[in-house]
Amino acid sequence: MPIQMPNKNPKKQTNWSRISKNVSFWVFVILVPVAIIQFSGKGSDVAPEISYTEYTGQLLRDNVDKVTIQGGQSLTGDFKQKVAVKGGRLVQKFKVLLPMENSSDDLKQLVAHGVQIQAEVPRASMMSLLIGLFPYLLIFGIWFFLFRSMQAGGAKAFSFGKSKAKLLTGDTPKVTFDDVAGADEAKVELQEIIEFLKDPQKFTKLGGRLPKGALLVGPPGTGKTLLARAVAGEAARPFFSMSGSDFVEMFVGVGASRVRDLFEQGKAHAPCIIFIDEIDAVGRHRGAGLGGGHDEREQTLNQLLVEMDGFESNEGVILIAATNRPDVLDPALMRPGRFDRQIVVDLPDLRGREGILRVHIRNKPMAEDVDVTTLARGTPGMAGADLANLVNEGALLAARRNHDKVYMADLEDAKDKVMMGAERKSMVMKDEERKLTAYHEGGHAICAVKVKGNDPLHKVTIVPRGRTLGVAWTLPEDDRVSVTREQLEANLVKAYGGRVAEELVFGRDRVTTGAASDIQQATGLARRYVSQWGLSDEIGPILVGDNEQELFLGREIQTRREVSERTAQLVDSEVTRVIKEAYARATVVLQENMELLHMVAAALLDRETLTGDDVAALSRGEKLPPRPVSPPTTAPALATPVMHPKPSKPPLFGGPEVAPA
């Protein structure tokens, strides 16, 4: 018994059905008049056509009773007595086509034989009738098309001020809360709104009211739009989706008209949810001197304020909006009664990043060695979009390597690519530069291992990526809300480990510019150590700000000075002291572990990448285990890439990322 496959594209079938109905209608409109004209000929189709010779013979026998002449050449008539035609059928009526137009002699001959003569105007042919009716049919068709289009809401010329909101229906692919991770608090807030729509009596019986709106606030890539799509998938109510830029037009009043139409559609489908993405495009501060002052935008915002909480209530219409710039929104838009809830969708923590990674890898073939927890620990500060990109890059890298699964090595390389850039295989380094890079990164690694307060060392590598020639990674065991003084000072020592290693091994005259990034990050960390966090014994726990520029949107731009010249000098001297102490401490650590530094640098030159366990084994005096076998492939490895000359301007040496507290 054959299995009937389900229809995978009902929308396509619906469109084809609609086209078939339209085609059938027009065929009916055209063929019915043609059929009427074709079969309205006074029964002329009953009279058989005879030859002119037979007609002449019957006329000479006085067997023609009467004739009707049409156009002088077509003649129909009746016989006095029935005549047998082809096929042996006896007929009374006949039709004949004269070889030439009827002349006066022919008329005299008919009169002489006593035939009754009648003349008619010739009927128009089918083609001439169609040509005459074509303009009327064309006008009727255009009118009918416009009428149908306006009924369906598809006439663009008549929908200039209409809302561009998209209504998500049941056949739209659904995203549910199971597809969202790392935003548990936001999911709880939005889940409550969905429950309110499904069972409002549960909340109203205690005096609660339906919230007017919820504003999703957070950095780019944290999943605000994804949360809105999940709300659409979870709610069993109509969901209208629109972007803030869809309201903005060059003509004044169009945006306000679209806002009115949007809420009219919402009230017609109430209770429902309206989602406006990037609402800062239309909800900017009114009267702002910077980036604002636009009549069309202000009228649109005024209409939005009125529709959300004005004289007429919009009961049952919940507005959900998303923005990553809440500081530029108008205060009237942010007040309770319009946006009753501001839901913060922040960067995910360690558990959130682990959940996001599990969501993105669940439909991909993963190897047994994939450790999601370790991967999540190595991605602090990454948003959900960054993690999705990491998993996708890992899958693409595994495919390029002809792996049958995605291995942990693929995901690690993808993480390095996303955070630092692609591996620069075409770059040729001299042995001396490669050796200097190994000692630089080895200095970072040893300071990370030997100084108490640093995070555990994850790996150290001298593989060039992006603008860096190497990096030493440390992974926090868990996300931290605050950082201790010990951890900050250990971080500073680790930052200067690379520069100190260069100086101790190669001499002061051969120190390179490779530590520029390390110095920049360490200086910023030391300045915050002194001026913001109050960790300097000389200055004390006082917030000391340098010359700062503060931007007040809609009011003024001003520069204010918070400290005196003497305090500023004191801050600079304390920053210098903290940096020099960290530099001196790094020097002591590396001098005490010089043999370990040579061992780590030699291993890096041999293997290019060492794990934290490898460095720990070297510090214990153990030999490194054999190199790990690369994941299996299903095809031969790719050929060695062609090496190109070294670029004229070498990139800076990359040290560890000094994460701000």
Could you say which DSSP state residue 120 is in? E
Which residue bears the tokens 């009716």? 133
**Which of the residues 234, 307, 441, 503 is marked catalytic?**
441
For residue 271, cis peptide bond before it (omega within 30 degrees of 0): yes
Which residue bears the tokens 């307060």? 453
CB-based contact 456:474 (threshold 8 Å): yes
Closest by CA position to 594, among listed 449, 453, 439: 439
How far apart CA 323 and CA 222 sit, in angstroms, is 11
CB-based contact 518:496 (threshold 8 Å): yes
Closest by CA position to 260, among listed 225, 306, 329, 207: 306
Angle at 134 between CA 128 and CA 135, to 5 degrees: 125
For residue 610, what is the enclosing H or E element? strand 609-611
Structure tokens at 62: 């006085």
What is each CA distance from 360 to 178, 180, 353, 363, in whole angstroms?
Answer: 11, 10, 11, 7
What are φ and ψ of residue 619, in 5° steps? Answer: -65, -25
Closest by CA position to 217, among listed 111, 339, 342: 342
How far apart CA 123 and CA 118 sit, in angstroms, is 15
CB-based contact 314:259 (threshold 8 Å): no
How far apart CA 97 and CA 72 sit, in angstroms, is 10
Closest by CA position to 33, among listed 118, 188, 140: 140
Distance of CA 246 to the CA centre of its chain: 16
Distance of CA 149 to the CA centre of its chain: 30
CB proximity list for 235: less than 8 A, separation 6 or greater: 194, 197, 198, 273
How far apart CA 401 and CA 416 sit, in angstroms, is 17
How far apart CA 553 and CA 203 sit, in angstroms, is 39
Structure tokens at 573: 């001297």
Which residue bears the tokens 């204010």? 560
- Annotation says 441 is catalytic: yes
Specify the length of the chain in residues: 661
CB-based contact 183:348 (threshold 8 Å): yes
How far apart CA 473 and CA 656 sit, in angstroms, is 6
Sign of the alpha-carbon dihedral angle for 188, 307, 224, 334? negative
Residue type at 84 in one-letter notation:
A
Active centre residues (catalytic): 441
